[in-house]
Structure 1
Amino acid sequence: MDALPKSRLLRFVERAMVLARRAVPRFSSRYSRKRFTLRQHVVLLCLKVKKTTTYRDLVDELIEMPRIRDALDLDAIPAPSTLCKAFDRLEMAVWRVLLNASLSDVPMNGVAGIDASGFERAHASTHYTKRTNLTIQQLKTTLLVDTATNTVLDIHVTTTRKHDTQIAPQVVKRNAASIAVLTGDKGYDDQTIRQLAREHDVRPLIKHREFTPLHKAWNARLDTDLYHQRNMNETVNAAIKQKYGAFVRSRIWWKQFRELVIKCIVYNIERFLGD
């Protein structure tokens, strides 16, 4: 019988393992039990987000996935609690490094768009919501997107109602070396952002709020072909929500932040594979 072709799921796991080997150490410490590697945990957590499933269901499916287990070098099946504890233990810095690694081998043009969207926190139980006085039902998620490849360069998440102009400077500083043009809608119309971008040799292409005829004239002179590439932000936001859910499953805010970063990593890997 002819060898079966690689499925999209198998190609995803193989690519995720390549990135994990680049960005993640094999074990957390020399005192680790060394039954499973950090890289295996990272890829399995990405696989959980890709399949929008639970820990228990993922482990159950792994039993029937011999080729996926081979790609992961799994000699045993981890328990659901093992993956849950790994998610708690892996810090945000690890996921950010993996997000940067997911952009390797991707040809980018230096034009980036910034925009914000919301992810629901409504999947938390009503009892938990009342006990923690949780009043804000959405996480404000700001994505910096490369408009050539529709990949996520960076993500900022907050539980507060911060204005876009308060979030953008942090994102620009963190990614100034990898972008040449920054596009944004009128929500990012702020002189501080424009000045900061120019200081880092980034061209700000942000529409002005039209309070005076001069603002209208500036908007009329805007490079519309380049500016309209910022629409890719909305495309990416919609694609992530459609594929991996417009909500987070975690109940604690810092876990919710990590979960959204993993969604972006999974999305970037699938973009690289052309899925």
Structure 2
Amino acid sequence: MEIDILDFVEQCRDLAKQALGKHAGEPASGGFARWVHVVLHCFRLEEGHSYRETPNRLKYMSEVRDVLGLDQDELPDYSTIYKSFDRLKMWVWRALLRVSAQQHPQSGHVALDSTFFDRRAASSYHCQRSGYSVQTLKVTTPFVFS
């Protein structure tokens, strides 16, 4: 399915600002607003670019740069984009998921927890060496009926 990348970036911008609320304008890293970092990652993943390719692609996409409020001379370096992905806290991604899920009408479909794997004993050697203690870690696989 083809999408218009400009519409996609605009929707991501609106969702990111809505999800982040008052924290949207705060810089996450590199001096750019937090919502810009979120939209850059969405853009990168949607287009299938590497971290190194993303600034190069943005250089030639003036409309996308305009949506992000970036000049051609102030594009973030690929290392800034790479590091910002790890620096964004989990609450940012959860808020984005919650806001984007609320955009769709409720269909009556349900998701069931079909399996889980108990990984209590995984890598006990690493836990002993590093001083970590893992009580329980459950990994679930959702199964959706339609």
TM-score where L is the length of structure 2 = 0.69
1:38 paired residue number:
34
Q: CA deviation at 1:114?
A: 3.1
Distance change in 2, residues 1:21/1:10 (3 Å): same
Partner residue of 1:10? Answer: 6
Runs of 4+ residues deviating >4 angstroms = none
The 5-angstrom pairing of residues 73-112 of structure 1 reads 73-75=69-71, 76-112=74-110
Could you say what secondary structure the match of 1:103 adopts? Answer: helix
- Spell out the pairing of 1:112-191 with structure 2 (5 A cutoff): 112-114=110-112, 167=140
C-alpha offsets along residues 38-85 of structure 1, whole Å, 9 cap, x if unaligned? 100000011111112211111110000000000111132100011111
Question: What is the CA–CA distance in structure 2 between the aligned matches of 1:101 and 1:116, rounded to whole Å?
Answer: 25
Deviation, structure 1 residue 36:
1.2
Any idea what the Cα deviations from partners look like across 1:117-146, whole Å, max 9, x if unmatched?
Answer: 9xxxxxxxxxxxxxxx9xxxxxxxxxxxxx
**In the aligned structure 1, how far is the partner of 2:85 from the partner of 2:98?**
19
CA contact (8 A) 2:15 2:96 kept: yes
- What TM-score does the superposition give when structure 1 sets the normalisation length? 0.39
CA shift, 1:11, in A, is 0.3
Q: 1:116 deviation in Å?
A: 6.5
Deviation string, structure 1 residues 217-273 (Cα, Å, up to 9, x no partner): xxxxxxxxxxxx71x4xxxxxxxxxxxxxxxxxxxxxxxxxxxxxxxxxxxxxxxxx
1:38 maps to a residue whose letter is R
State how far apart, in whole Å, the 2-side matches of 1:65 and 1:80 are: 16
Calculate the aligned-residue CA RMSD, in Å.
2.9
SS at match of 1:111: coil
What is the CA–CA distance in structure 1 between the aligned matches of 2:35 and 2:53, rounded to whole Å?
A: 20
Q: Percent identity?
A: 35
Larger radius of gyration between Structure 1 and Structure 2: 1
Give the total of aligned pairs.
Answer: 119
SS at match of 1:55: coil
Q: Helix, strand or coil for the counterpart of 1:114?
A: strand
> Unaligned 5+ residue runs, structure 2?
116-125, 127-136
